[in-house]
Structure 1
Amino acid sequence: MELRAGETLGVLAMFASLFLILFTAYLLKPAREMLILTEGTAEVRSYAVALQALLLLFFIPLYGKFSRRFDSYRYMQIVTAICVATLLVFAVAGNAGLSISVVYFVWLGAYSVLIISQFWAFASELYSREAGERLFVIVALGASLGAWLGSAVSRELVNYLDAYGLIIAGAFTLALSAIPASRAGLSVPEASRGRSESGVSAQASLFAGFQLVLSRRYLMLMAAFVIMLNLVNTTGEYLLSAILEDLYATGSAAGEIAVDKGTYVGRFYGGFYFMVNLFGVLIQFFLVSRLIRVAGFSIAFMLTPLVIFLGYASLALLPIVGWFRYFKIAENSLDYSLQNTARQMLYLPLSRQEKYEARAVIDPFGQRLGDLIQAGLIFAGLHVLGWASTDFIPLATVMAACTLTLALLIIRERSRLLSAQHKTDTDNITGE
């Protein structure tokens, strides 16, 4: 982690903004689980995840169209304000007695990836590729710390606040997150800034982001990777919630659990997210920069899909359900820290349009499309094939192998892209 003259204030501002965004996320996530698993079931949760992809199919083209009309920071302010207002509406509706669990679950899934994608699009436009590769490790530490502290706070708050109280708290911290980002835009030294681009005409196609992704092999591989990575992860989330339901039913019947299901679920996920984000902070602080510097970007990018594949393969061979929680902690910790940092670096060599519009397709829509496929697999497995929840583990192993293969193809394509850009820059300097 190398800071150069004039970079400290901007990096700290970006760090603080991302810290607050992730702190907010871990106030809102336990509220989501409390609502969906008390008003529904793990199966309903799986189908609600799928609806997020359908929502984004309509929303992403509008997002891309409006992103061309505003500068990057102004657009970030607008998106944040809309999200804060929506959270307050959810809290008011829930307190009024309306059932909001499925709608809130769907909205939060879209929000979670979109708000983070928006932040990283702003960051990758603000910094040059060279500066981003040095500084994103520090900025991403804000995400890990925010997520960890947010989960620690929410673990305690579930004893005092209901889901709607957590939502109101999240609206407040999200509003605060826009303040330091304004400082960052003014504090980045010229030598560290990304190249200014005029942007795309506001008259460009409404589906320009989808067209971009389909027109470039590099972007298509990234989209496929995000879909598969999320498909594996959400299958694991379904398994975890199904196991949790079984534990609550068994414990309640035996008289070992004295609290209601909402409190039980809130405490479990508060503790689970706390451990995920604690390890995420440790990985981000002690491992990520060292791994990228010593082993290189390719190894850093490959490590998470490799661990996920080995984990599911071991579970397929020896299905010890009690160990699954710890594997999910390891998987999510690596995904939220090392993998997230490396994945943001994939966008640094790209144009502004690709950083905003293609990213809005790849990250939010790609993740939610993975959710949609996952819901179809869960439905087919449960209702057509008659599987139990643990029967999905071998399928998750195959999907993890596909994810690992896509990671290898992305590394090869990125090397080709950087070589071509280096040749172009050299030709421009020499006048050829």
Structure 2
Amino acid sequence: MRSLLLRTSRATAEELGAVVWSFVYFFALLAGYYVLRPIRDEMGLQLGPGVLQQLFTWVFLAMLLLVPAFGWLTRRFPRRQLLPWLYAFFALNLVGFHIAFDAGGVQRPVLAQVFFVWAAVFNLFVISVFWSFMADLFDTGQAKRLYGFISAGGTLGALAGPLLTASLVRPLGARPLLLVSAGFLCVSIVAILRLRAWARRTGATGQGADSGEQQGLKGSVVGGLVDVLRSPYLLSLCVFLLGYTVLSTFLYFLGAELIPKAISDSGERTQLLAQVDLAVNVLALLLQLLAFKGLITRLGVRFVLGLLPVVSIAGFIVLAGSWPALGVLVAFGIVRRAGEYALTKPARETLFNVLPPEQKYKAKNVIDTLVHRTGDTASAWGFAGLRALEITSVQIAWLSAVLAAGWWWVSQSLGRRAEVLQGEAAAREAKVTTVPC
């Protein structure tokens, strides 16, 4: 078994324990989140689109308040010491939600709203700090060898979580699954403690000058925002991301209106949402294994960036012509989310490679948090505005197809600029490494 793990993970004998615990950590983390995701989305369906647009605003405001607060914590306390307390706090939150939801025998709307916002904040923090912790443990050379195996743990967790929810929500109900998720977080805490012990024993240096033990998360919202506003390239990247968030939010709200009309039972809806998450992650895994590398190496980043906009154009046109077909909406959502996770997001991450090192952290922080959440919130209110103007679902679908066409144009412009910058960076690197005769 040990020899098989060494070959599969590409770890040395000294690294193997840390790699296995990192695999377990990421598995438990994503499994716990994906147990919660269908429950959160079902609560959103019960609350209705009118309340959802307000919740998107609360998520945005919570992000604005908590990201700086969390940045202060990571500068004040060593991350390796802070993380167990952070995950324990979230696990206790889940126990508290379980007690609160069970106390009255019914799910109260106010608690459902609080849980929806909490789940979005939970997702924002726990996954980002996982990769910061990995950077504390492993240097760049180790990361190239080991991150593929560690990422596979997260992929399996993303499959196991919705599978558990789909299997257990009917016999147990949704509330006990909160404890299942809390249990996964406890497994993550055990993994963190074991990894801390390994780091102390081996003197793991990671990628930071001070082993990452006392290093705060890099970058600031203000500094990153200035960098973004000064760079046409980064502004184009922001517009591309906003195209994704607007269309995703519109599709989400169309589903929030259609699914409760098609399925009246809460347990059945939760089961459907879990099955959708499972299908998304299975398809994303297949695309990652079979398609992404070949597409981006043979056809280039511009082609990959344009794939999801083309799928969105076709999907919204089919949705407009078949409305209100639940199967079409579900299938379109699965393909679109899997394409984002497996193709578009990895391709988008390569766009940061041409930036100066400090800007990679600051600009990326702004784009991944402020720009993304601003897009979510603005498009939620935009959808509400369309409804106030008595725009029908079919008309919104047609409008989304038009927006997707504009998104494709942005993807091609951004891709061309990225290819130019990557070529210039490669030329500079070749010039530096060339030895004169």
TM-score (norm 2): 0.78
**After the TM superposition, which of the residue ranges 66-75 and 198-207 deviates more from structure 2?**
198-207
How much does 1:179 deviate? 4.7
1:218-233 alignment, distance < 5 Å: 218-233=233-248
Instruction: Give SS of 2:171's match.
Output: coil
* Whole-angstrom distance in 2 between the partners of 1:43 and 1:410: 35
- Amino acid paired to 2:255: L
Distance across 1 between alignment mates of 2:420 and 2:195: 32
Q: How much has 1:154 moved relative to structure 2? A: 0.5
Q: Which whole-Å deviations, capped at 9, do the CAs of 1:200-233 have from their partners, x for residues lacking one?
A: 9999977344334434444433333333212211
Name the residue aligned to 2:52.
45
Distance 1:424 1:282 in 2: 36
CA apart distance, 1:315:
3.4
In structure 2, what is the equivalent of residue 373 of structure 1? 378
Alignment equivalent of 1:149, drawn from 160, 165, 172: 160
Using the alignment, how far apart are the partners of 1:330 and 1:306 within structure 2?
Answer: 12
Alignment CA distance shift 1:5-1:131 (3 Å): closer
Residue 263 to residue 330, structure 1, CA distance change in 2 (3 Å):
same
Residue in structure 1 matching 2:28, options 20, 25, 43:
20
Q: Deviations over 1:262-319 (max 9, x none)?
A: 2132122122222222222322333334444544444444433332233224434665
CA contact (8 A) 2:242 2:372 kept: yes
Which position in structure 2 is the counterpart of 1:283? 287
Structure 2: how far apart are the matches of 1:223 and 1:182?
38
TM-score computed with the length of structure 1 as normaliser:
0.79
Contact 1:50 1:372 in 2 (8 A): yes
**What does residue 181 of structure 2 align with?**
170
Could you say if the C-alpha distance between residues 203 and 234 of structure 1 is closer, same or farther in structure 2, counting changes exceeding 3 Å?
closer
- AA partner of residue 391 (structure 2): W
The worse-fitting range, judged by mean Cα deviation, of 305-314 and 5-14 is 5-14
Q: Which amino acid aligns with 2:248?
A: N
1:9, distance to aligned residue in structure 2 (A):
6.6
2:410 is the alignment partner of 1:406: yes
Aligned residue type for 1:303: L
Indicate conservation of the 8 Å contact 2:140/2:207, yes or no.
Answer: yes
Contact 1:276-1:333 within 8 A present in 2 as well? yes
For the Cα contact (< 8 Å) 2:221–2:366, is it kept in 1? no
The CA deviation at 1:419 is 4.7
- Greater Cα shift, 53-62 or 344-353: 344-353
The higher-RCO structure (CA 8 Å, 6+ apart) is 1
How do 1:19-168 residues align onto structure 2 when only pairs under 5 Å count?
19-38=27-46, 40-69=47-76, 73-74=80-81, 76-77=83-84, 79-97=86-104, 99-122=110-133, 139-168=150-179
User: Do the aligned partners of 2:25 and 2:188 also contact (CA within 8 Å) in 1?
Assistant: yes
Please tell me the residue identity of whatever aligns with 1:87: L
Q: Aligned partners of 2:17 and 2:256: how far apart in 1?
A: 42
Deviation per residue, 1:23-68 (Å, 9 max, x gap): 1121111221333333x22432343223211221222233334444
Structure 1 residue 236, shift from structure 2 partner: 0.8
Matches within 5 A, 1:344-423: 344-347=349-352, 354=359, 357-383=362-388, 385-419=389-423, 421-422=425-426
- Give the deviation of 1:173 after TM superposition: 0.9
Separation in 2 of the partners of 1:234 and 1:139? 31
CA contact (8 A) 2:19 2:146 kept: yes
Q: Report if aligned partners of 2:26, 2:150 keep a CA contact under 8 Å in 1.
A: yes
Change (3 A) 1:310 1:215: same
Query: 1: CA distance between counterparts of 2:425 and 2:191?
Result: 33
- Deviation of 1:378 after TM superposition, in Å, equals 1.9
Q: For structure 1, which segment, 307-316 or 156-165, has the greater mean C-alpha deviation from structure 2 after superposition? A: 307-316
Superposed CA deviations along residues 330-382 of structure 1, whole A, max 9, x for unmatched, are 11122233333334444456667555554443223333222211221221121
Segment drifting more, 399-408 vs 175-184:
175-184
Match of 1:387, SS? coil
Distance in 2 (alpha carbons) for counterparts of 1:203 and 1:143? 24
Aligned mates of 1:75, 1:423 — CA distance in 2 = 43
Conserved? CA contact 2:53–2:381, under 8 Å: no
User: Distance in 2 between the 1:118 and 1:166 partners?
Assistant: 24
Q: CA RMSD in A?
A: 4.1
Answer whether contact 1:132 1:345 (CA < 8 A) is retained. no
Residues 215, 89 of structure 1: alpha-carbon distance in 2 compared, 3 angstrom cutoff: farther
* 2:273 counterpart (269, 274, 283): 269
Confirm or deny: 8 A CA contact 2:221 2:365 kept in the other structure: no
> Which of 322, 331, 337 is residue 326 of structure 1 equivalent to?
331
**Distance in structure 2 (CA, Å) of the matches to 1:77 and 1:295:** 43
Instruction: Choose which of 308, 315, 339 in structure 2 pairs with 1:311.
Output: 315
Task: Identify unmatched segments of 5+ residues in structure 1.
Answer: 250-260
Amino acid at match of 1:280: A
C-alpha offsets along residues 386-424 of structure 1, whole Å, 9 cap, x if unaligned? Answer: 123333112222332333333334434444554555566
Name the % identity: 25
One-letter identity of the residue aligned with 2:267 = T
AA paired with 2:36?
L
For 1:247, give the aligned amino acid. Answer: A
User: For 1:291 and 1:411, how far apart are their aligned partners in 2?
Assistant: 14
